[in-house]
Amino acid sequence: MAASLSLRAGLVSLALLLAFLLTWQIAVGGTAKTEAMDPEYAALMGASATTGKSAMPGPLDVGATLWKHLKDPFYDRGPNDKGLGIQLAYSVGRVALGYGLAVLVAIPIGFLIGMSPLMNRALDPFIQLLKPVSPLAWMPLALYTIKDSGLSAIFVIFICSLWPMLINTAFGVAGTRREWLNVARTLEVGPFRRAVTVILPAAAPTILTGMRISIGIAWLVIVAAEMLVGGTGIGYFVWNEWNNLSITNVITSILVIGLVGMILDQLLARAQRLVTFPE
Amino acid sequence: MVTLLPFHSPSADQADEARMSSQTMPSSEKFISIEGIARRYPAPGGKSNTVFENLWLPMRRGEFVCMIGHSGCGKTTVLNILAGLEAPSEGVVIVDGQAIDGTSLDRAVIFQGHALLPWRTVLGNVAYAVSSRWRKAAKPEVTARAQDAIATVGLAGSEHKRPSELSGGMKQRVGIARALAIEPKILLMDEPFSALDALTRGTLQDEVRRICVETGQTVFMITHDVDEAIYLADRIVLMTNGPQAKVAEIVENPLPKSRDRTQLHHAPGYYALRNHLMDFLVSRSKTLRDAMPAGYDPRHPPVIRPSLTEVEGAAPAADTAPARRA
């Protein structure tokens, strides 16, 4: 009897990972002395010139750096040397603020658009025009008007989270099953109670889909936004380490950015399962 | 040949006589009165499609009325107008002395597709209706009323299941419980059992019949199942095909109020009644749309009142009947 699918898939994943790490290690590892040179000159040039070792760190280097960061994630030695945990906390905080504001704005307006064909048509041109704009294009405008780089980053997160939630809320609300609305009508349920007890639960899975798309985009955008505004955050950390030419730290950052993004996505996926009921 | 056709089709002179004697329901008996309603939809070119027009139908209190007709004859529209979900293009519906305007908790609807809210439990679905009916009721009272209704349809013990955990028949039971829980004056059912298998349908028909007889509930039900109509209805309204559907005739069910499903098909007159209804669906629903018999008055559609003895005695049917059969 074959092992279960998930077990076999896990084994394949593990094998692929090992193969990748091995290739990586071999590719960046040095071989032997490449050419004879003056010892003083060789000391000046470093390992990449003398033994053919790449400047690219190997998986073991990255693993060691990751371990170092994990051991002490919250240290703070001045503006240019903060622990990975602190940087991540700044980024997550900005995303939470911008995204939270977007939820507060997008869901009520989405309800309005979904329930009123008039408002749907009236607001449609604005949404269609603004939706495709890269959120970073708003950055100069935000910096000029808000005059605070931290708040500008939050604004950029707000604006990029807004559209998927807005559109999905409107779509979910407008798509509430006619028969459920008829149930509310025959029971003489008032408009507010109907919105809360019938339309909201009916649209909840679609709204959560929008929220899940939004959190993904927000997490993509925060890295770029923080590269621009600087100061703190994981995006700033990546750019700072690039300036330090610490590729090890850049790769470590990529790993943790992916990890946090995955956790955010999984949280919303779980929330979505909680509000989805099969018929 | 003639013996197969036990029912009189009212020819002009018979119709006049019958109308004088029995076809007009005295206004004191009219609990519901559909008065000249029409439903038109706009069609391209500024014209309009008429589903039905000038439709009149009175109903007594405590009566079980079934409406039979093919798809597209506007049965569901009639029910939606009665429910207040749709407004008629013309005419009014008077319930208990008042013209209806919109939906009302006095008129409960059992939907064809059960229309349960999937995020609520069985109890939650019924309690939602109860708390809509009695807005100020305390929670224990709401729960108690909801549980009563759930017990009435035989679902006690399943209160905390969600609709997805129930079979089709059980879902429709919850729909019935939800409608009964608000103690409506009228129960409106739109082909409530059409999506169920025959066995479940039978049990649910028994339940509905028992509940309605016990409570004296006034019911208007749409169906295209002839046997269902015969088993449940006091009167069966036959609609011609749409568009421009009409009430062709109203058949009073001669079977006694106490009906036994197992013995029903042995009842004298059962097959004659059934054949009459089947003939209507198969052919007359179409021919009558094209040409109504002379003397047809939409305000007083002919009432057919077969008597069981007449069926047994096989009284010669009237003039036009054999021609129709041929």
Q: Which of B117, B122, B130, B135 to mutate to test the interface with A (most CBs of A within 10 A)?
A: B117
User: B266-300: per-residue pLDDT in tens?
Assistant: 888 888 888 889 988 888 888 888 778 877 888 88
User: Nearest CA of chain A to the CA of B142: how many Å?
Assistant: 15
Backbone dihedral region for residue B217 (phi beyond 0: left; psi -120 to 50: alpha; all else: beta): beta
Q: What residues in chain A have their Cβ under 8 A from chain B's Cβ atoms?
A: 177, 179-180, 182-183, 185-189, 197-198, 201-202, 204, 275, 277-279
**What whole-number distance in Å separates Cα of residue B87 and Cα of residue B81?**
6
pLDDT score at A53: 67
Q: Which residue, chain included where needed, has tokens 């750019």? A: A239
Judged against a pLDDT cut of 70, whether residue B170 lies above it is answered with yes
Backbone dihedral region for residue B270 (phi beyond 0: left; psi -120 to 50: alpha; all else: beta): alpha
pLDDT score at B15: 42
User: B15-31: per-residue pLDDT in tens?
Assistant: 444 443 345 677 777 88
- Taking the CB of residue A115, how many other CB atoms lie within 10 A of it? 18
C-alpha separations of A173 from A193, B128, B239 in Å: 14, 20, 37
Q: Which amino acid is at A8?
A: R
B263 token code pair: 């013995």
Classify residue A118 by burial, with Cβ atoms within 10 Å: 0-12, 13-18, 19+: exposed
C-alpha separations of B160 from A173, A263, B204 in Å: 27, 33, 21
- Type and span of the H or E element at B228: helix B226-232
Q: Out of A177, A187, A202, whose CB is closest to B105?
A: A187
User: A174-192: per-residue pLDDT in tens?
Assistant: 999 999 999 999 999 999 9
B74 token code pair: 């506007």
Side-chain-side CA neighbours of B238 within 13 Å: the count stands at 28
Residues 87 through 146 of chain B touching chain A, CB cutoff 8 Å: 103-105, 107-109, 111, 113, 115, 117-119, 128-129, 132-133
Judged against a pLDDT cut of 50, whether residue B128 lies above it is answered with yes
Contact A124, A163 (CB under 8 A): no
Q: Which of A179, A186, A189, A279 to mutate to test the interface with B (most CBs of B within 10 A)?
A: A186
Question: Alpha helices of chain A — where are they, by DSSP H?
Answer: 5-28, 39-45, 47-50, 59-71, 84-115, 117-130, 139-146, 149-174, 178-186, 191-194, 200-229, 234-243, 247-275
Instruction: Give the residue among A275, A142, A267 at the shortest CA–CA distance from A215.
Output: A267
Residue B5 DSSP one-character state? -
User: Nearest CA of chain B to the CA of A181: how many Å?
Assistant: 9
User: Nearest CA of chain A to the CA of B120: how many Å?
Assistant: 9
Q: What angle do CA B12, B60, B7 make, to 5 degrees?
A: 35
- Taking the CB of residue A80, how many other CB atoms lie within 10 A of it? 10
User: B69-106: per-residue pLDDT in tens?
Assistant: 888 888 899 999 999 999 999 999 999 888 999 899 99
- The four Cα atoms A212, A213, A216, A218 give a dihedral, to 10 degrees, of -100
Q: Which of A182, A187, A196, A197 to mutate to test the interface with B (most CBs of B within 10 A)?
A: A187
pLDDT score at B200: 86
- The four Cα atoms B139, B142, B143, B146 give a dihedral, to 10 degrees, of -170
User: What SS3 class is residue A150?
Assistant: helix
Judged against a pLDDT cut of 70, whether residue A6 lies above it is answered with yes
Is B107–A186 a contact, with Cβ atoms under 8 angstroms apart? Answer: yes
A91 token code pair: 């980024």
Contacting residues of A for B108, CB less than 8 Å apart = 186
Residues 74 through 93 of chain B touching chain A, CB cutoff 8 Å: 83-85
**What whole-number distance in Å separates Cα of residue A213 and Cα of residue A161?**
8
For residue B154, give every residue at least 6 positions away whose Cβ sits within 8 Å of its Cβ, in sequence order, or none: B173, B207
Contacting residues of B for A187, CB less than 8 Å apart = 105, 128-129, 132-133, 182
Contacting residues of A for B119, CB less than 8 Å apart = 201-202, 204, 275, 277
Mean pLDDT across the stretch A224-231? 92
Mean pLDDT across the stretch A225-232? 91
pLDDT score at A33: 60
User: What SS3 class is residue B68?
Assistant: strand
Is A189–B132 a contact, with Cβ atoms under 8 angstroms apart? Answer: yes
Q: Which of B101, B131, B132 to mutate to test the interface with A (most CBs of A within 10 A)?
A: B132
pLDDT score at B29: 75
Contacting residues of A for B182, CB less than 8 Å apart = 187
Span of A199-203, B43-47, B316-320 with lowest mean pLDDT:
B316-320
Q: Which amino acid is at B229?
A: A
User: A111-149: per-residue pLDDT in tens?
Assistant: 999 999 999 999 999 999 999 999 999 999 999 999 999
pLDDT score at B26: 72
User: Nearest CA of chain B to the CA of A171: how many Å?
Assistant: 19
Query: Which residues face B209 on adjacent strands?
Result: none
Judged against a pLDDT cut of 60, whether residue B2 lies above it is answered with no
**What whole-number distance in Å separates Cα of residue B139 and Cα of residue B137?**
6
Q: Out of A188, A197, A275, whose CB is closest to B104?
A: A188
Q: Which residue, chain included where needed, has tokens 């129930």? A: B166
Judged against a pLDDT cut of 60, whether residue A87 lies above it is answered with yes
Residues 252 through 281 of chain B touching chain A, CB cutoff 8 Å: none
| Average per-residue pLDDT for chain A | 91
For residue A136, give every residue at least 6 positions away whose Cβ sits within 8 Å of its Cβ, in sequence order, or none: A156, A221, A224, A225, A228
**What whole-number distance in Å separates Cα of residue A55 and Cα of residue A46?**
10
ipTM > 0.85 (yes/no): no
| Residue pairs between chains A and B whose CB atoms are closer than 8 Å | 54
Total count of residues recorded for chain B: 326
User: Nearest CA of chain B to the CA of A176: how many Å?
Assistant: 11
Span of A49-58, A78-87, A94-103, B119-128 with lowest mean pLDDT:
A49-58
Contacting residues of B for A197, CB less than 8 Å apart = 128
pLDDT score at A3: 76
- Taking the CB of residue A98, how many other CB atoms lie within 10 A of it? 27
Is A187–B117 a contact, with Cβ atoms under 8 angstroms apart? Answer: no
Q: Which residue of B has its CA nearest to A201?
A: B119
- Taking the CB of residue B31, how many other CB atoms lie within 10 A of it? 19
Judged against a pLDDT cut of 70, whether residue B48 lies above it is answered with yes
C-alpha separations of B246 from B81, B252, B253, B256, B301 in Å: 16, 18, 20, 28, 9
User: Nearest CA of chain B to the CA of A167: how many Å?
Assistant: 23
Q: For B172-175, which contacts have Cβ atoms below 8 Å and span 24 or more sequence positions?
A: B172/B110, B172/B114, B172/B196, B172/B204, B173/B204, B173/B207, B174/B114, B174/B116, B174/B122, B174/B125, B174/B126, B174/B150, B175/B110, B175/B111, B175/B114, B175/B115, B175/B116
Whole-number CA gyration radius for chain A: 25
Judged against a pLDDT cut of 70, whether residue B241 lies above it is answered with yes
Side-chain-side CA neighbours of B300 within 13 Å: the count stands at 14
Q: Which residue, chain included where needed, has tokens 């190997």? A: A58
Strands B64-68 and B218-223: parallel
Is A188–B132 a contact, with Cβ atoms under 8 angstroms apart? Answer: yes
Query: Does B31 lie at the interface with A, CB-CB under 8 angstroms?
Result: no
**What whole-number distance in Å separates Cα of residue A223 and Cα of residue A156?**
11
